[in-house]
Structures are given as structure tokens and as C-alpha cells.
Structure 1
Amino acid sequence: MLGSRACLALGTDIWIVTDQQHRVHAPSHARVIELDAPTQIETTLSQGLPANPSDAAAEVRDRLGNRAVSQQLTAAYQGVTDAWRIGIAKIPAVVVDQRYVVYGEPDVAHAMARIQAYRETHP
């Protein structure tokens, strides 16, 4: 198993791109991007709304005005944008330095070991 020190030696920019159905155990220093996070937040925002459309719209505006919710939504969409920008094609994906990626491996330590092995043979 690859420890934290070895993970940091690989690169300090570690992203885990996944969703609610593909859970992974990420190291604490990794950025976890859940592609379905915006949908999850939007679903929460729409729960318990009044039946009257005008009251419901006002309630959603109030909820979106909450700084914490706004920051969560912004971060969630930024994560999706970043994953799209670097060309993530499948999930789960373990990405190091926005350059090396292992797809379909839920064991992050194993994915990191594969990336390290590749980097050692392709300096």
C-alpha cells in the first residue's frame, strides 16, 4: 500500500473524480470531485418547497442567498468543469498533477502505485 509520503512524492495535486455510486477512500490531501454533486445540491434546494409557484420561487431565492449553499454549488460546478477540462472519460478516476490518470480503480492507493510505476519507467 502506498503511504501518504509516497503519495506526496508523486505530486501534490491529487484529484479523485467520482460520483455517489462509485465511492472511494481518498487520502485527506486529495481533492474529491463528485460529478453528481450539483444535482445533489439542487435536489436538496428543491425539497419542501411551497405549492404556490411564486412562494416556491421566493424560497429558492432565499436558499440560494445562503452563502454556504452558494459556495457549495459554486465548488460543485467548478469540480465538474475541472474534470471536463482535463478530459476525464470514466469514473472513478485518480488524477495526479492533472497529467496522469487511472480509471476504474476504487482503491486510490493501488491507483497511485500504478501511476508511480509508470512514472518510474517513463521519466
Structure 2
Amino acid sequence: MPASISRFSPGWRTLGLAVALPVALVVFSPATFAADVLVVTDSRHPLKTVGGERLIELDEAHRIETELAAELPADPEQAAVIVKRRLNGGGADLQRRIASAYQGVTDAWSLGITSIPAVVVDKRYVIYGEPDVARAVARIEQHRRTQP
């Protein structure tokens, strides 16, 4: 008599593993443990993200300003008219990008970020210099488990 008897055929067990394994990987991934993940960087420091984290690029506001100021005439009055037209033409999406860029700088400053890249978890823990967000979050989670 076999040591274990299953009421399901081998095909059903394989299907169960095929469904359970990906679900377990998502549920127990490092990013899932962290309630709030914030990543602070700039365009010169690329990162490997995991998805779901909030990304702040500190030079985003400058890039938007550069777009708005591209090929402006030397005359300040004409330049002002063109910039206003560009701002209006960008609509709500441009306004949202500008607000988000400056809010990101403010948030990074208020958290005391001193260098980039920085991965911040729950506005309390930070790892500097790690370009792999999953690895940074895993290090933070390991630290949290060892601290009472």
C-alpha cells in the first residue's frame, strides 16, 4: 500500500502546483512585505524595479523645464508667450507631471535622503546605493526580522 494516498489525479496536482507556486512567489516576494516602497534616483542612476514602488526622479522637474524652454527666442516677451502656450497645450497631464516632479523633490528632502539611489520602506528604513530595488527591500526586511 502506498505511503500517501491522494484523492486527486497527478494531473490535478500538477495544475495545483502551477497555480499555487506563482501565487506564493507574489505573496512572499520582498516588495509584498513592505507596505510602502519609495525609490529616489535620477536619470543618471538607472534601477532595476519590481513594480508597485513609487519612483521619484530628482531631475524630472529640470527635464520638464528643458522641454518647455526648448528653442525659445531671445526676446523675453515672445519667449513668455511661447512658454504659456506650451503650458496650456500640455493641459492637465503636463500640470500633473510638474506637480508630481516637485512633490517628489519635496518628499525626498523631507525624508532626509542624502544620496541616490535610495530605497525607502515605510518612510522609516533606507538603503543607499543599491540599484536593485528587490534586493534593497529584502535587506530591509531581513533587518526588520532581526530587530525586536
Q: Same fold (TM over 0.5)?
A: yes
The answer for the alignment partner of 1:108 in structure 2 is 133
Task: Give the unaligned 5+ runs of structure 1.
Answer: none
What is the alpha-carbon root mean square deviation over aligned residues?
Answer: 1.4
Asked whether the 8 Å contact 2:38–2:120 carries over to 1, the reply is yes
Following superposition, which runs of at least 4 residues in structure 1 exceed 3 angstroms of deviation? none
CA drift of 1:50 comes to 3.1
SS of the residue 1:21 aligns to: coil
SS of the residue 1:50 aligns to: coil
The answer for the alignment partner of 1:10 in structure 2 is 34
CA drift of 1:43 comes to 0.5
The answer for the alignment partner of 1:84 in structure 2 is 109
Task: State the identity as a percent.
Answer: 48
Matches of residues 1-123 of structure 1 in structure 2 within 5 Å?
4-5=26-27, 6=29, 7-11=31-35, 13-65=36-88, 66-123=91-148
Give 1 or 2: higher helix fraction.
Answer: 2
Q: Could you state the TM-score of these two structures normalised by the residue count of structure 1? A: 0.90
Q: Could you state the TM-score of these two structures normalised by the residue count of structure 2? A: 0.76
Asked whether the 8 Å contact 1:18–1:33 carries over to 2, the reply is yes
CA drift of 1:4 comes to 4.6
Residues of 2 paired with 1:18 and 1:4: CA distance?
A: 25
**After superposition, what is the alpha-carbon deviation per residue over 1:15-56, rounded to whole angstroms, capped at 9, x for unaligned?**
110001111022220000001111011011101223432111
The structure with the larger Rg is: 2
Asked whether the 8 Å contact 2:33–2:141 carries over to 1, the reply is no
Greater Cα shift, 20-29 or 90-99: 20-29
SS of the residue 1:105 aligns to: coil
Task: Give the unaligned 5+ runs of structure 2.
Answer: 1-24
CA drift of 1:108 comes to 1.1
Q: What is the aligned length?
A: 120
Asked whether the 8 Å contact 2:42–2:60 carries over to 1, the reply is yes
SS of the residue 2:62 aligns to: helix
Residues of 2 paired with 1:96 and 1:86: CA distance?
A: 11
